[in-house]
Structure 1
Amino acid sequence: MQLDDKMPIRPLTSLPADSDLCALRSSADFWDAYSTPLGDISLTPLAIAQHTFGKTPAWVNALLHLRDRLIALVGIRTVGAMTIDPSKPLAAYRVGDKLAIFNIFTLSDREIVLGINDTHLDVRVALIKPADAPGTYVTATVVKTHNWLGRLYMVPVARVHPIIVKAMMRKARL
């Protein structure tokens, strides 16, 4: 299937039932999920993630740079740019490895769960090939805040996050 910018990226009202994030959703302070057609259904979630993060728009990395400068003032850990090592083969990735700014928490043929644990919040991002929707993939995010700083941090992030996710999904059309 040939994909273009006119292909829809749809917000979802629930997480795919087979996602590992479902267990975290009930206690989440923020979550979102988006679905789009997958042009090459043979791709694994890891391949989708590597491709997507490898095509991160420059303005997203500029926002991450600004974020790092601002949060360093209040003692929150910086994350750097959303970059990957394009020479690292997919077969070399394991649970616990880094992919872009995230650690890999789970890795299977149907889902990769990435995340960051910090003092103010925990983030999980999943790229999922739902069993009940062949030919699509889902990007889902779940955030659990730990304190007032995490809740304050999420005020602007919750508004910008959907724009960033949709832009990354569009730019990385698979």
Structure 2
Amino acid sequence: MKIPEKSLLNTQHFDYSDSFEKEFVSKQTHINSSELGKLFFSSGSPWIKKLFSLRNKIVKIFGLKASEHQETKEFNYEPGDQIGLFKVLEKNDHEIIIGEDDKHLNFRVSLMLDNENNQQHNRKLTITTIVTYNNWWGKLYFFPVKPFHKMIVPSMLNGIVKNLS
């Protein structure tokens, strides 16, 4: 799937992108991007947390950034805030962009909520990821990560939607 037209990511350069979306009916009348950020960090399955833990152990060997556990309750989800490996880079009312720049690659993750057909409770959540390789290590790093990424993101999307429905 392509990057949604309304996404803040549309102005960015990238070497890889993917998007996953899910439609759902929400009980809430207003969901802001800070809430999406909070759900992103709290809706992951235990197997995803174990994979991130393994990733952190492996990347430390190569001198890459690893995420440390941080309490999400103290996180404000405002540009510049950082939780583990993810920094809030941009946000508006319906989208939050988190990501990081490292020596091998830069990545951005967009969580974007859209009302379907302008109906208040029919929603669509899209998670889009873009990756820019800074060198051949970035391509090499992302090659084995990509299959896991394609399993993790839809699982997280389902978890977030479950919490919103």
- Which region of structure 1 is more displaced relative to structure 2, 47-56 or 119-128? 47-56
- Structural RMSD (CA): 2.0
User: What whole-Å deviation, never above 9, does each CA across 1:117-141 have from its counterpart, x for those lacking one?
Assistant: 1000101001112467651111110
Q: Which 5+ residue runs of structure 2 have no aligned equivalent?
A: none
Q: Which residue of 1 aligns with 2:51?
A: 63
How many residue pairs match? The answer is 156
Runs (4+) of structure 1 moved beyond 3 Å?
A: 130-134
Q: TM-score, normalised by structure 2?
A: 0.84
Does structure 1 residue 53 correspond to structure 2 residue 37? no
Q: Which residue of 1 aligns with 2:106?
A: 122
Aligned counterpart in structure 2 of residue 30 of structure 1, from 1, 16, 25: 16
- Note the C-alpha offset of 1:171: 2.1
Q: Which residue of 2 aligns with 1:7?
A: none
Aligned counterpart in structure 1 of residue 66 of structure 2, from 78, 83, 88: 78
Residues 1:100 and 1:49: Cα distance change in structure 2 (over 3 Å): farther
User: What whole-Å deviation, never above 9, does each CA across 1:21-74 have from its counterpart, x for those lacking one?
Assistant: 1112xx312111111124245211220220231122111111111111111111
Q: Which residue of 1 aligns with 2:90?
A: 106
Does structure 1 residue 145 correspond to structure 2 residue 133? yes
Q: Which 5+ residue runs of structure 1 have no aligned equivalent?
A: 1-12
Q: SS at the partner of 2:3?
A: coil
Q: TM-score, normalised by structure 1?
A: 0.80
Query: Partner amino acid for 1:137?
Result: L
- What is the 5 A alignment of 1:126-137? 126-130=110-114, 135-137=123-125
Percent of matched pairs sharing the same residue:
25
Structure number with the higher helix fraction is: 2
Q: SS at the partner of 1:21?
A: helix
Cα distance between partner residues in 2 of 1:68 and 1:41 = 38
Cα distance between partner residues in 2 of 1:41 and 1:146 = 41
User: What whole-Å deviation, never above 9, does each CA across 1:98-151 have from its counterpart, x for those lacking one?
Assistant: 245311111111211111110001010011124676511111100001111110
- Which region of structure 1 is more displaced relative to structure 2, 113-122 or 100-109? 100-109
